[in-house]
Amino acid sequence: MTSPLFETIGLTKAYPGVVANDDVSFAIRPGEIHALLGENGAGKSTLVKTIYGLVKPDAGEMLFKGTVYAPSEPRAARAAGVAMVFQHFSLFEALSVAENIALGMENPPKPRDLAARITEVSAQYGLPLDPDRLVGDLSAGERQRVEIIRCLLQDPKLLIMDEPTSVLTPQEVEILFHTLRKLRDEGTAILYISHKLDEIRALCDEATILRLGKVVATCTPREVSAAEMAELMVGKSLSRPARDAGAPGEVLLHVGGLSVTPASPFGTPLRHIGFEVRAGEVLGIGGVAGNGQDELLAALSGETRVPPRTILLSDTPVGAMGPNKRRALGLLCAPEERLGHAAAPDMTLTENAVLTARVRQQLDRHGFVDWGSTRDYAAKIIERFDVRTPGTEVAARALSGGNLQKFVIGREVLQNPKVLVVNQPTWGVDASAAAAIRQALLDLATGGAAVIVISQDLDELLEISDRFCALNEGRLSAPRPARGLSMEEVGLMLGGAHDMHEAQPEAAE
């Protein structure tokens, strides 16, 4: 038994109103992949930020190689040999790969030497990268490579990976795991943060499970079942959403030949997208973020205008209509970004309710908002969707991610849509709220609406969709029945490893 490389002893960090970490102690040995497991809000992020020197703990200490380790800033952590790959990439889109990597290093070599080093190390670990490309032009998987290479160039002793697979296709995950195992065999300790149990069982040697800021268990992932770990993580067993599958009805939404040029320089063009959804059906659209999801949602919601006949809602051409006209006809959308797109952060729940529900719920009279009935509508959403909030007059920003998401989805569902489009309905939402949202979507479909779910969470899509199709670089695959579809097949539909290969001579071009 080797002595630990890194240890935390009684780490505690409190924010106003919440204890993010409460007396957290765990240890990692050299050459070990250690999982940090927990729901959103369990305190994983605060803990790794503490280790990386971005947050100062209120109490407790850390030991690194047996000596006290208290980094005052990330620079000190990097100097000690701790490197981190972030959940939301800490990359600069308008800068090149080499510039991005240089920014994360203490003493970067000259640009030409650095480019050579990047090519060399990336080939060595099977992660080829071109140092001169702009990061904005890279796929999500390639961007993650940039972060990993940035860490590897500093020869870290402890590598922290915060939810690294959430943006990868199954094949890309395999490549990543291969790299991580190689690093482990070279003696690097890896702290692997995730809430995906299968990955942890496949990859990790030890696991520490956090719930509400406390360590509730440690285990060896290979020896316990995923269900056991899930129960430890959530604190209760979860019911899977269910519904009675009925025969699909008439076609409610028909999309054909939809092509869109993106408005932003790093957007993805949509190319000849076509599909139809029937009443009572859930269509799942999978794909890694940045493959045209936002553009597709904008085209369906009416934020982007397209030729009228490319989108038909019950045979009415709606392509050239704006969002309010589409809402009036029954086509509703809930976009991905909760704060800023689906909801106005600084406005109250009542005010947010009027923003999309005005037309269908008749919340205004002669252009004046009827605040009474709007408040009633907001209260109805809160009650029916179990939104935990002190009241309707609370700013949207003040709600937790899961609660706001329930509100945003509920606001659309209760308007009784004919077609509902949701993008990432359960992103960053805790497991019980996610289950409630999925159930609401299924109930809506059972009631005769057509539901389109755009998501990166493939498990979610396979669970609730009737048919599944994949969005890859702005192209939509032909839909296939979701039942019986294997992860492998789904991965191939998603474009496989996105032109990413493990290093081969011809792949290094």
| Among candidate residues 280, 293, 286, the one with its CA nearest the CA of residue 252 | 280
Residues 71-110, one symbol each (x = binds another protein by CB under 8 A, - = not), give --xxx--x-------x--xxxxxxx---x--xxx---x--
Applying the rule CB under 8 A, the residues between 259 and 288 that interact with another protein are 263-265
Tokens 């992932």 locate to 221
Tell me the Cα Rg of the chain.
Answer: 24
Residues numbered 25-54 forming contacts with another protein, rule: CB under 8 A? 53-54
- Nearest to another protein of 103, 328 (CB atom): 103
Q: How far apart are CA 386 and CA 248, in angstroms?
A: 29
Q: Is 332 left (phi over 0), alpha (psi -120 to 50) or beta?
A: beta
Nearer to another protein, 86 or 125 (CB): 86
- Minimum Å gap between C-beta 274 and another protein is 26
Q: How far is the CB of 239 from another protein (least distance, A)?
A: 35
The nearest distance, CB 57 to another protein, in angstroms, is 15
Nearer to another protein, 163 or 466 (CB): 163
Q: In whole angstroms, how close is the CB of 77 to another protein at the nearest point? A: 8
Within 362-421, residue ranges assigned H as helices are 371-384, 401-413
Residues 6+ apart with CB under 8 A from 17: none
- Taking CB under 8 A as the binding criterion, the range among 67-75, 125-133, 385-393, 414-422 that sits at the site for another protein is 67-75
Kindly state the smallest distance separating residue 243's Cβ from another protein, in Å.
39
Site for another protein in 107-146 (CB under 8 A): 108
Examine residue 18 and tell whether it contacts another protein (CB under 8 A). no
Nearer to another protein, 57 or 410 (CB): 57
- Owner of token pair 């996105």: 498
Min CB(283)–another protein separation in Å: 31
Given a contact cutoff of 8 angstroms between Cβ atoms, the answer to whether 5 and 189 are in contact is yes
Minimum distance, C-beta of residue 262 to another protein, in the bound complex (Å): 8
In angstroms, the CA 143 to CA 127 distance is 11
Using the minimum distance from each CB to another protein, give the nearer residue, 40 or 361: 40
Nearer to another protein, 75 or 483 (CB): 75
Q: Residue 5: what residue type?
A: L
The residue (of 143 and 411) whose beta carbon lies closer to another protein is: 143
Handedness of CA 90, 93, 98, 100 (dihedral sign): negative
The whole-angstrom separation of Cα 97 and Cα 109 is: 14
The C-alpha atoms of residue 387 and residue 410 are separated, in whole angstroms, by 9
Question: Nearer to another protein by C-beta: 44 or 326?
Answer: 44
Rounded to a whole number of angstroms, the minimum distance from the CB of residue 475 to another protein is: 21
Neighbours of 236 (CB within 10 A): 9
- What is the C-alpha to C-alpha distance for residues 27 and 498, in angstroms, rounded to an integer? 36
Query: What type of residue sits at position 154?
Result: Q
Number of amino acids touching another protein (CB under 8 A) = 22
Nearer to another protein, 45 or 171 (CB): 45
Cα distances (angstroms) measured from residue 443 to each of 243, 244, 416, 422, 460 = 7, 9, 11, 15, 16
What span, in angstroms and rounded, lies between the C-alpha atoms of 209 and 193?
10
CB of residue 156 vs another protein: minimum separation in angstroms?
15
Q: What is the rounded distance in angstroms from the CA atom of residue 298 to the CA atom of residue 466?
A: 23
Binding site for another protein (CB under 8 A): 53-54, 73-75, 78, 86, 89-95, 99, 102-104, 108, 263-265
